[in-house]
Amino acid sequence: MLCEECGKNQAEVMMTTVINGESITRHLCRECLKKYESGDLQAVLAAVLSAMTAKNQTSDAVCPHCGQTYAAFQKTGMLGCAGCYQAFRKELTPLITRMQGRTQHAGRRPPVSEEEQARQTLMEDLRARMEAAVAEENFEEAARLRDELRAMTPAKEAQE
């Protein structure tokens, strides 16, 4: 049997990882085992994530922002940009839930007034509606929404 990590060498070691009661067994060669033993955290996380997602059906999803594929994420354990979270939402939701217990941020947030929070929420909604209008090729509506967004954006944010 070949190593499940590199796919080149003969697997000599069987390693089992247990995360939240779910066990994942990997067959590794000596070289790949050294990555785990050396504490190369990025390699360990990439391997665990790829093993966890290997059970799921392989996705052909591609991030429209950076071009990263889900298969590349499975190999490296790293996303290409913030848009990848949305592009791979279906695949990432079970992973994040398994690893962190939830998909919504539960920690502290920077202090923002209720008015500012409402403005940001409205702007996010307008952006989503504008993107939907563009996707439907309703360019007049998209232009109206764009102008509405520009009017809501403070001069300081617009320059950045």
For the chain, domain boundaries: 1-55, 58-104, 114-153
Q: Out of 52-56, 73-77, 108-112, 129-133, which region has the weakest mean confidence (pLDDT)? A: 52-56
pLDDT score of 42: 61
Residue 53 contacts residue 75 (beta carbons within 8 Å) = no
Find all residues with CB under 8 Å of 6, minimum gap 6, and list them: 29, 31, 32
CA dihedral 36, 37, 39, 41 (to 10 degrees): 10
Pairwise CA distance, residues 110 & 113, whole Å: 10
Find all residues with CB under 8 Å of 75, minimum gap 6, and list them: 46, 50
| pTM (two decimals) | 0.35
Task: Summarize pLDDT for 99-149 with one digit per residue, the tens.
Answer: 777 777 777 777 778 888 888 889 999 999 999 999 999 999 999 999 999
Structure tokens at 139: 């360019």
Structure tokens at 53: 């997602």
- Residue, of 121 and 21, whose pLDDT is higher: 121
Using DSSP, state whether 26 is helix, strand or coil: strand
pLDDT score of 61: 83
1-55 CATH = 3.30.60
- Residue, of 123 and 37, whose pLDDT is higher: 123
pLDDT confidence tier of residue 55, bands split at 50, 70 and 90: low
